[in-house]
Structure 1
């Protein structure tokens, strides 16, 4: 895996956020959270060298050839404004927004990644992804993800009218715990956190300074060894947390 190299100018920062789940649990409740997120994007654009969104921006997202889900206009407009200004934004799909097929790239100029990827910022190495389906557990979801990402399954889904397909998927997103991640909301202890185990296995073959994931909905900073750290970004539902890298150090912060 070849890392993407990026130089951070003096006074600039890289921002990371994940798990907004826009659209849930209701349109009204989501609107309040969306406005907070857009306000945050408006704040950080002043000194952002780049912005990384690590998945589950939406509680459900699926793209047909000529149709995308209704709503989220404030978020999409703000992201377009940011990329138009020259600030790069990178998106990693989550388990709730797997079905991205070009809309972000074409309309927002945002690269979309479906697997974790390495980046080097100045001389610091990062391994970045959403975090779903990684590590020794999550077996039920791993099987379900194979179905969701299967081209034939995707072809069948596109034959559903969007009003039916989106409503069905939204229902499953909330009701099916394999998709919703409701079972993952509690800290399991370092020895039982499957993303921690995944990071430690990756370190056996190659050093990375930071492993950055979402998915767990918990703000976590865990030392994997004296020179490597695992960071989980939390969410924009309960914690409103994000991470900032200033070219030297990485810290978790809370938006107020």
Structure 2
């Protein structure tokens, strides 16, 4: 049986490919479990200093595989599905102590779009489309959609996308600040892989502290955030990579970061 998640270990980073192209990489329970296991493995692997998530075939991810919910007795408990699979996935991505890059090709719909937005840096092919498709079937944006959208693009645009389920072109998503960069379709993966490879050479612990600070800023007040910055800077200043970075700067040479905490 073909794996629903392809794991490609590179030099210092890992490419995770959603691999159900015949279903536009929509999620079923098996794919959720495989992706969770792959992310946990990446998180525990000191040799992995960045993760790139991509989709096989003509689309990134169409969200939940609705056929997986058809034919069951009575209405499905979608809250159970979210609590068991989608919420832990978003939390894994946000908490991973290394950069997570997402390369979106083709459609990113429903939870597929919001999982992309949970990543640290999103690159998209020019042909990509982001769709909050939940309203079309009477559902609520999940996988962090109601959290990420207002913060990334403002309340007015978030409400319009969520209530109309209107597709958003990649170039407009970039213009609005929803994603980092749009690329020609044939250049997407090369640039995404180059970015992941770049992060594999950077001060991984420092980047983890950056993620921690940015994650907390969504709910902290200024005083709390200032205190957090102080505490994280204290930790960062004690890492070998900080010492190496300063030494390399003084010696006018490229730094050689290990990514290690000690």
TM-score, length basis structure 2: 0.32
1 or 2, which has the higher helix percentage? 2
Task: Give the greater-gyration-radius structure (CA).
Answer: 2
Higher RCO structure, 1 or 2 (CA under 8 Å, sep 6+): 1
TM-score by length of 1: 0.32
